Amino acid sequence: MNTAVEWAAELAHVREVSLLGTADLAYWRDRLLKEDLLPAERDGGARLWIAAADSKYMGVRFRELSFSVLVSWSEEGFRHDAAYLARAFNSCRLFAVCERVLFSSPYSHGDVRVLASLPASIHLAKKGEIIFRAEMGAEGSGADREPSRRGEGGWEGPVFLPGIRRGNGRPGKWFFARLKGDTRTYPFLHSEDTVAIGSPPDSEILQALRDSHFVAEEWVVREDASHAKSKTRRRPDVIRGEAAEPVAAPDPAA
């Protein structure tokens, strides 16, 4: 990683649960075309990353949930070292506003719940109704489930932001992100684990998960992680190679 990265925010002792999965490649290729990005392909599908975190910033406890697509900003379409942040939610209304205004990130307020101890779970509620739910099965494979991998791990690279919503016809901005910590990964057991996607009329990202036939594959759990993000920058800074070169990492579980 380029050590010249200046972090705008650094968080310690983050409790984090991610869910990795695949979705229809053609759907996300078409959706990201207007952003000048290509979804990173794996086994013929696009790679999606749903990440929830429980943390504290400036003494304020908050929880957030993000929905991202792993992408390549090179034209070859095979690198997995970048992400496109399609939508995110923060349990703190003030922080959600700050993300939109200061970082140009697609955040809104939502009641996010995350449990990083086993059985791990992620919940998102709006107006008292749970609209997204991902849970490890509690019977037989909950607290006793053995990880498929364990060790220091993480992810770092550019995170691209939507640009088309601002109506300027130009690609969105970006920031550099880093997360790391003791990492445990678990296969998603379709016989025991659950993903439930609601259908609220104002949730475009949940509709996208359904339309692209999202299939969960793997849990990633970090009970004591560190997160960092840079200031938001214009996309041409990346195109001209002025951005920090990302460390090659196949996915957030690496």
Q: What is the pLDDT of residue 235?
A: 77
Q: What is the pLDDT of residue 244?
A: 33
Q: What is the pLDDT of residue 164?
A: 54
In sign, the C-alpha dihedral spanning 227, 230, 234, 240 is negative
Q: How confident is the model at residue 254 (pLDDT cuts 50, 70, 90)?
A: low
Q: Which residue has the tokens 């849990």?
A: 219
Q: What is the mean pLDDT of the chain?
A: 85
Q: What is the pLDDT of residue 144?
A: 76
Instruction: Assess whether pLDDT exceeds 90 at residue 72.
Output: no
Q: What is the pLDDT of residue 36?
A: 84
- By CB atoms closer than 10 A (0-12, 13-18, 19+), residue 196 is exposed
Q: What is the pLDDT of residues 133-161, one digit of tens each?
A: 999 997 654 567 899 999 999 999 899 99
Q: What is the pLDDT of residue 197?
A: 96
Domains with residue ranges and CATH for the chain: 7-239 (2.40.400.10)
* Angle formed by the axes of helices 25-33 and 204-211, nearest 10°: 140
3-state secondary structure at position 141: coil
Q: Which of 85, 53, 47, 87 is nearest to 251 (CA)?
A: 47
Token pair recorded at residue 253:
């579980």
Residue type, position 211, single letter? D
Strands 41-42 and 38-39 turn out to be unpaired
What is the mean pLDDT of the segment spanning 163-170? 57
Instruction: Assess whether pLDDT exceeds 80 at residue 252.
Output: no
**Portion of the chain with pLDDT greater than 90, in percent:** 63
Beta carbons within 10 angstroms of residue 45's beta carbon: 21
Q: What is the pLDDT of residues 91-147, one digit of tens each?
A: 999 999 999 998 889 999 999 999 999 999 999 998 889 999 999 997 654 567 899
Cα dihedral angle (175, 161, 52, 98), rounded to 10 degrees? 70
Lowest-confidence segment of 10-19, 153-162, 213-222 by average pLDDT: 153-162
In angstroms, the CA 134 to CA 137 distance is: 10
